[in-house]
Amino acid sequence: MTVLADRRRARPRPPAAPRRRSATRTRALLREGLLFWALILPNLAAIVVFGYYPTLYNLVLSLTDWDFVQPAPVLVGLDNYVELLRPGSVLADALRNTTVFVLVTVLGTMVGGLAIGALLAQRLRLSGVVRTLAFAPHMLPGAAVGVLWLFLFDPSYGLSRWLFEMVGADSPRWTTTSDFSLWAITIAYAWQRLGFVAIIYYAAILDLPRDLYEAAALDGARGWSLFRHLTIPLLSPITFFLTVTGVIAAAQTFDIIATLTNGGPGTSSTTLPWLVYEQAFVSFDIGTSAASATVMFVLLLVVTLVQTRVAHRQVHYS
């Protein structure tokens, strides 16, 4: 790849164009310009109409009161935000649940994925099979993963009962009690993502420069200290990438919640995306839903920006 890129850069430049553009040249440029817009337009139009415009109009809707039925949204200023930011509001619950869900799934899959990735990189027997099976859940529809885990969590006939019976306990009623529902969606989602993270780490570890390891081995470093002081720092760009994409993906998880708990019981497993959906399409409270979506958008934007800044300071790029 780099070879090609270099060759391309070294390509001899065409002789400098005469200062005054001839009429043909102007026409050619104009034609190129028109062609550019023609080629880009379908994609650009779709992105503007179904991406940027909704984001802006959502902001307007967040300042209104509407239920889909009234002829038009009624402006109410910042009322929706005031209501949502009141302590003890449903948004506060959703923020707390989202934070727990995101932190636990991202941290859990990173630590677990790194361990599994390092194990796979030893290329033991069977590790090919494990790689395939580990990545498979990432390919599945979240709805299928959710329904599968609903069965696994079943306190009477699911694997959960078998697992808990081994230690002589009853299975929790994972999806129907508010003490466990958040953990149910967390576990199911982490299971779906874990193998993906592991495979990325596995590929990254195989990609590390061998000569550094040989040099470190000459210095007497081995085992855990090699992993701790060489592998982990070398992997920091990947860790950073997985953190950013992980937080963004986890914070938007919807299908697993919709199939496992419907955000309940009560608000015990309501996260931001579920709240946005429920307020709009179950309670038909358009203004409030738009305001919640805006809060979610701003938070994700802040997370992205902060992480990018941190990256510039702390990530080791080889």
Partner 1 sequence: MLGLVLAVFAVPLYWLFSSALKPENEIYTFPLTWVPSSLEWGNFVEAWTSAPFGAFLRNSVITTVVGTALEIGVAVLSAYAVAFVRFRGKMLVFAVMVGSLMLPGHITLLVNYITVSSLGWLNTYQGLILPGIGSAFAMFLLYQQMRQVPGELVDAASIDGAGHLRRMVSVVGPICSPMILTATLIVGIGKWNDFVWPLIVTSTADMRTLPIGLMFLRSQEGYDSWGPVMAGTVIVAAPMLVVFFLAQRRIVGGIVSGALKG
Residues between 120 and 149 with contacts to partner 1, criterion CB under 8 A: 124, 126-127, 129-130, 132-137, 139-144, 147-149
- Contact between 5 and partner 1 by CB under 8 A: the answer reads yes
207 counts as binding partner 1 under rule CB under 8 A: yes
Stretch that binds partner 1, among 87-95, 99-107, 214-222, 280-288 (CB under 8 A): 280-288
# chain residues binding partner 1, by CB under 8 A: 95
Smallest separation (angstroms) from partner 1 to the CB of 218: 27
Neighbours of 186 (CB within 10 A): 22
DSSP string, the chain: -HHHHHHHHHSPPPPPPPSSPPHHHHHHHHHHHHHHHHHHHHHHHHHIIIIIHHHHHHHHHTTEE--SSSSS-EE-TTHHHHHHHSTTSHHHHHHHHHHHHHHHHHHHHHHHHHHHHHHHHT--TTHHHHHHHHHHHHHS-HHHHHHHHHHHT-TTTSHHHHHHHHTT-PPP-TTTSTTTHHHHHHHHHHHHHHHHHHHHHHHHHHTS-HHHHHHHHHTT--HHHHIIIIIHHHTHHHHHHHHHHHHHHHHT--HHHHHHTTT-STTTT--HHHHHHHHHHTS--HHHHHHHHHHHHHHHHHHHHHHHHHHHHHPPP-
The smaller minimum CB distance to partner 1, of residues 227 and 297, is found at 297
Q: Please report whether residue 255 would count as binding partner 1 according to CB under 8 A.
A: yes
What are the structure tokens assigned to 170, written together? 């009853």
Instruction: Identify which of residues 87 and 181 has a Cβ nearer to partner 1 in the complex.
Output: 181
Residue nearer to partner 1 on the CB measure, 184 or 293: 293
Contacting residue, 258, 261, 263, 269, with partner 1 by CB under 8 A: 258
The minimum distance between CB 85 and partner 1, in angstroms, equals 18
CB of 308 to partner 1, least distance (A): 11
Closer residue to partner 1 (CB): 5 or 167: 5
Cβ proximity to partner 1: between 230 and 300 the closer is 300
Binding residues among 213-242 for partner 1 as defined by CB under 8 A: 237-238, 241-242
User: At its nearest, how many Å lie between partner 1 and the CB of residue 66?
Assistant: 10
Q: How far apart, in whole angstroms, are the C-alpha atoms of residue 286 and residue 75?
A: 12
Comparing CB distances to partner 1, the nearer of 174 and 277 is 277
- Minimum distance, C-beta of residue 205 to partner 1, in the bound complex (Å): 11
In the range 160-199, which residues lie near partner 1 by CB under 8 A?
Answer: 161-162, 191, 194-196, 199
Q: State both tokens at 227.
A: 């992993």
Closest CB to partner 1 among residues 43, 314: 43
The reply to whether 301 sits near partner 1 by the rule CB under 8 A is yes
Write the interaction track for partner 1 spanning residues 25-54; mark x where CB under 8 A is met and - where it is not.
----x--xx-xx--xx-xxxxxx-xxxxxx
Measured CA to CA, the distance from residue 188 to residue 260 in angstroms comes to: 9
